[in-house]
Amino acid sequence: MQVGFSVQVTRRVSQGIAAALVAVLLSGCATNIMDGIWGDDTPAASAAGTAGTAVAPDMASAQETAAVAKLYNEALAELNSNSLKSAMKQFGEVERQYPYSSYATQAILMQAYIGYRLGKWDDAVNAANRYITLHPGGKDVGYAYYLVAVCNYDQIGNTRHDQSSTLKALAALEEVSQRFPGTAYAQDAAAKVLVARDHLAGKEMEVGRYYYRQGAYLAGINRFKKVVTDFRNTSQTPEALYRLTEGYMALGVVSEAQTAAAVLGTNYPQSEWYRDAYQLVSNDGLSPEANKESWISKAFDAVNPL
C-alpha cells in the first residue's frame, strides 16, 4: 500500500485530505480484504490445492478477518458521510476488538486524523503518537509525525498570546523536515516553519515596542536584537533594524544606530523602515554607515541556516 496522502496547509481544505486518506486506506484494506488469506502463495491455499488429506484452511481466522474488515469499512462509511464522532467511535472499536490486526494499525491513524478534523488537538496528537510508538517503522509514520506538527501549528494564536504552541509547532515541523526530506510532508512543514518563526519574531517585536514606550530602551534593544540574530529571515526584520536605529539614537550610541540604518538600507532598500531610519540619522547631520565590527554587521554576514 503506497503512501498517497494529500498534504494541505489549512483546515479549510481538510475535506481534500480526508478523501486522499480514505482512498489510501481503502486501496490497501477495504478492496483486498482477503489478500494474504486465499492468495496462491499462502500456506492455506497451498494446502487446499494438495491431496484430500491436506490440512484445511483456518476458517475461524478467515471469519475474524471478515468481521474486522466489516467493522472497519463501517467506520469508513461513517467518515465518508461526515459523521465524524461516530466514525471515531467505530475506529476505536476496531482497535479495541482486534488490536493485533492490520486494520487496528490504520484505525489508530484514522482516529488521529478525525481528532484533527474535530479540533480535538490532544486526542489527535495522542493517537498519532500512539501510532509512532507502536509502529515506528510503519509506512505511514511520516503522516503521523506530520499530523502532530499541524495540530500544534493550527493552535498558533496571534502574537499577543502565549507562544508555547508556536514553539511546539516549530519543533515538530522541523522534525518532519529532517526525518522525511523530499516528501510532501517535509515540503509543507518547511512552509509552515517560516510562518511559525514569523510569529515568534512578532512576539519579540511586540515586547520590544512595549519596552520602548516605557522608556526602557536597553531592554527593547535586546528584544529587537533577538529578532535580527535568531529570526533574520522573517517579515519582522526590517522594522527590527529600524527600532535598533531608534533605540541606539535615543541612548546616544550613534555608531550602532548608523550601522543598523546602513544594514537596513543594504538589505531592504525599498522598505519604508529604511526611509524612516535614514531620516532619523540624518536629523543629526549623520548618514547610515556600517561598522564592520558591529554585532549587527556580523549578524548579516553570518550564514543563516534557513
Residue pLDDT, tens place only, 136-151: 998 999 999 999 999 9
- d(Cα 188, Cα 178) in Å, to the nearest integer? 12
pLDDT value of position 59: 52
| Three-state DSSP class for residue 136 | coil
- d(Cα 165, Cα 161) in Å, to the nearest integer? 10
> Average of pLDDT values for 114-138?
95
Percent of the chain, pLDDT > 90? 69
Q: Does pTM top 0.75 for this prediction?
A: no
For the chain, state the CA radius of gyration.
28
Half-sphere exposure in the Cβ direction for 17 (13 Å, CA): 20
- d(Cα 107, Cα 111) in Å, to the nearest integer? 6
pLDDT value of position 158: 65
CA 124, 130, 133, 138 torsion: positive or negative? negative
pLDDT value of position 164: 85
> Average of pLDDT values for 202-230?
97
C-alpha closest to that of 242 among 224, 216, 222, 229: 224
pLDDT at 306 over 80: no
pLDDT at 40 over 50: no
pLDDT at 27 over 50: no
